[in-house]
Structure 1
Amino acid sequence: MTTKIFIDGGHGTTGIEIADRLAGRPELSLIIVPEAQRRDAGARRDALNAADIVILCLPDDAAREAVALIDNGKTRVIDASTAHRVADGWTYGFPELEPGHREKLANSRFVANPGCWPTGFLALVRPLTLAGLVPADWPVTVSGASGYSGGGKAMIAEYEGTDGAPTAFRAYGLGLGHKHVPEMTRYAGLSHPPLFAPAVANAYRGMLVEVPLQLRAMPGAPTLTDVHAALAAAYAGSPIVSVAALEDSGATGNVEIEHVGATDRLQLFVFGSATSGQARLVATLDNLGKGAAGAAVQNLNILAGLPETAGLRL
């Protein structure tokens, strides 16, 4: 028996990436709405209600509208938009978040795919708050850079237009009210929002997310070894998330935005100085992979009871 899948918004950047990962999988059957009927509410309603699992790759308002069109009690939903990430009744779609979360996902009907930035941030911070190394009220900072494909078709057109890329590197979110901050705060277990300083680079895809820590000023003055041990324990045995050995990180002079390539992997590094008592925690991922499409496919596999890495690029 195949699992019927409908990708609503499947012609956007994330939808295309998801479809590529689902192609050729005999255990799945894709529901296709003809191009002429994509704006037909009736055709969309039929497709949404015929599917076992729906993946929404839509703007926030359109995602809410799609959920409202589902009038049965069985169709399960994975929403790749921001609309439901901190909404009641929705499970956050980061299986690695904490012990037991994967099982919670498997039994959920409504799943909110994480944002790309929160994926890297939470991978670094959540194990440390759980271990008590980062207090809930600690003033956490997160920065980094993403490929411009994370901005969707409009930003892709801006960077790939006939006049060439507008810049090599651009900071944004300067008003400190970015839409990713609520999910970062909630799922990291923080009492206050982190200071989020994102940037976009002139690279189509890829992402670096960095959390600097003044270890010497933190309660208990945790060491680099303490931090690394908490991260390594959290992701031990994971086929998707890996933590570079401390000695390997110490021998690394730099990390590139394209470090994991066009894959669905997530790799973490602990850099720092025992002498200064400072650390730079870095997550590397593909903003279209584990930061978007790869996460949606991983969640789909979990909901459908299929091998978790099926169709992923690892």
Structure 2
Amino acid sequence: MSTLPLIFIDGDQGTTGLQIHERLRGRNDLRILTLPAAERKDARRRAEALNSADIALLCLPDAAAREAVSLIENPGVRVIDASSAHRVTPGWVYGFPEMAAGQPQAIADALRVTNPGCYPTGAIALLRPLVQAGLVPADYPLTIHAVSGYSGGGRAQVEQYEGPAAAEAAPYVLYGLGLAHKHPPEMQRYAGLSQRPIFVPSYGAFRQGIVLSIALQTRLLPAHVTQESLRAALQAHYAGMRHVAVLDAQQSAATAQLDPTRHNDSNDMTLGVFGNAAEGHILLCAVFDNLGKGASGAAVQNLDLMLRAR
């Protein structure tokens, strides 16, 4: 009988599940379990698969992810949930390894890991080190803008842009106009904010990639804060980290525009600090793949941490 860890991908035909399959293709250090199409909605077969796995990867809508967790009776089964169902649930470890010094070990040891949301990954990456360093007040009135590729909307949105009616798809869509998106509670908690940020999401007519930006005004920051001090704090936090890079002053000065597709098909993220010192305006930016560091890439990174802890 094989001693290789068994990984069950529940929801393997969705956008994230398919990407995880692709990223795990050719690996010889694990076994992958999936259900045939006729059994994917069979609660008994799903329960059997979930309880037979060493690690279950949930690539499901929120309600289905909660149901999947409820079906697990085997105390040895570990879970990575790629949905937003458990991102602020007590007892679940937040699956952003670069967030804090002890986070990789916390993920490695966890029984339950909740994968970060795509947009929160960029927002938390930018804000948490700056809030912790006292450079951005926890109660700063933040507005977070982001544009993603259309794949962030799942299979239905991909079909809209790649199916027979693709010519009718809008080139750009701003949504969440009621300012009640599901991501701000996650952003607030893990960035260390005392107030809920305003979040303005959008997507464009490109398949994948994200540019996220946060504008700051120096008159609302502590007196000593500059572009340079913000950049230095980010560089110190992410020094030596494989998947997160911070543009230095020279790189920032040479950057006139940001391409959201820059890191497509990778698990990398670039952070930048830009601005107009004369006007006291600063812009924090993050660029990454919504299907990479924002979803499947992060899930596989967490999976590898958990596998090493076996």
Normalising to structure 1: TM-score of the pair? 0.95
Alignment check: 8 A CA contact 2:60 2:83 kept: yes
Q: How does 1:25-36 map to 2 (within 5 A)?
A: 25-36=27-38
Identity %: 50
Could you tell which deviates more after superposition, 163-172 or 182-191? 163-172
In 2, the alpha carbon distance for the partners of 1:105 and 1:161 equals: 38
CA RMSD of aligned residues (A): 1.2
Aligned residues: 306
Q: Which runs of 4+ in 1 moved over 6 A?
A: none
Alignment check: 8 A CA contact 1:150 1:205 kept: yes
In 1, the alpha carbon distance for the partners of 2:256 and 2:33 equals: 47
In 1, the alpha carbon distance for the partners of 2:92 and 2:103 equals: 13
Q: Which residue of 1 is the match for residue 48 of structure 2?
A: 46
In 2, the alpha carbon distance for the partners of 1:52 and 1:231 equals: 36
Q: How does 1:235-250 map to 2 (within 5 A)?
A: 235-250=238-253
Normalising to structure 2: TM-score of the pair? 0.96
Offset of residue 34 of structure 1? 2.2
Q: Which residue of 1 is the match for residue 183 of structure 2?
A: 180
In 1, the alpha carbon distance for the partners of 2:197 and 2:249 equals: 26
Could you tell which deviates more after superposition, 112-121 or 136-145? 136-145
1:99 partner SS: coil
Q: Which residue of 2 is the match for residue 97 of structure 1?
A: 99
Match of 1:113 among 104, 108, 115: 115
Q: Which residue of 1 is the match for residue 266 of structure 2?
A: 263
Unpaired segments ≥5 residues, structure 1:
307-314
In 2, the alpha carbon distance for the partners of 1:133 and 1:190 equals: 12
Alignment check: 8 A CA contact 1:82 1:115 kept: yes
In 2, the alpha carbon distance for the partners of 1:288 and 1:202 equals: 15
In 1, the alpha carbon distance for the partners of 2:249 and 2:141 equals: 25
Match of 2:155 among 120, 136, 153: 153
Q: How does 1:300-311 map to 2 (within 5 A)?
A: 300-305=303-308
Spell out, residue by residue over 1:258-299, the C-alpha distance to the aligned partner (whole angstroms, 9 max, x if none). Answer: 121221111111111222222111100000000000000000
Alignment check: 8 A CA contact 1:215 1:221 kept: no
Q: Which residue of 2 is the match for residue 312 of structure 1?
A: none
Q: Which residue of 2 is the match for residue 23 of structure 1?
A: 25
Alignment check: 8 A CA contact 2:58 2:65 kept: yes
Match of 1:217 among 200, 212, 220: 220
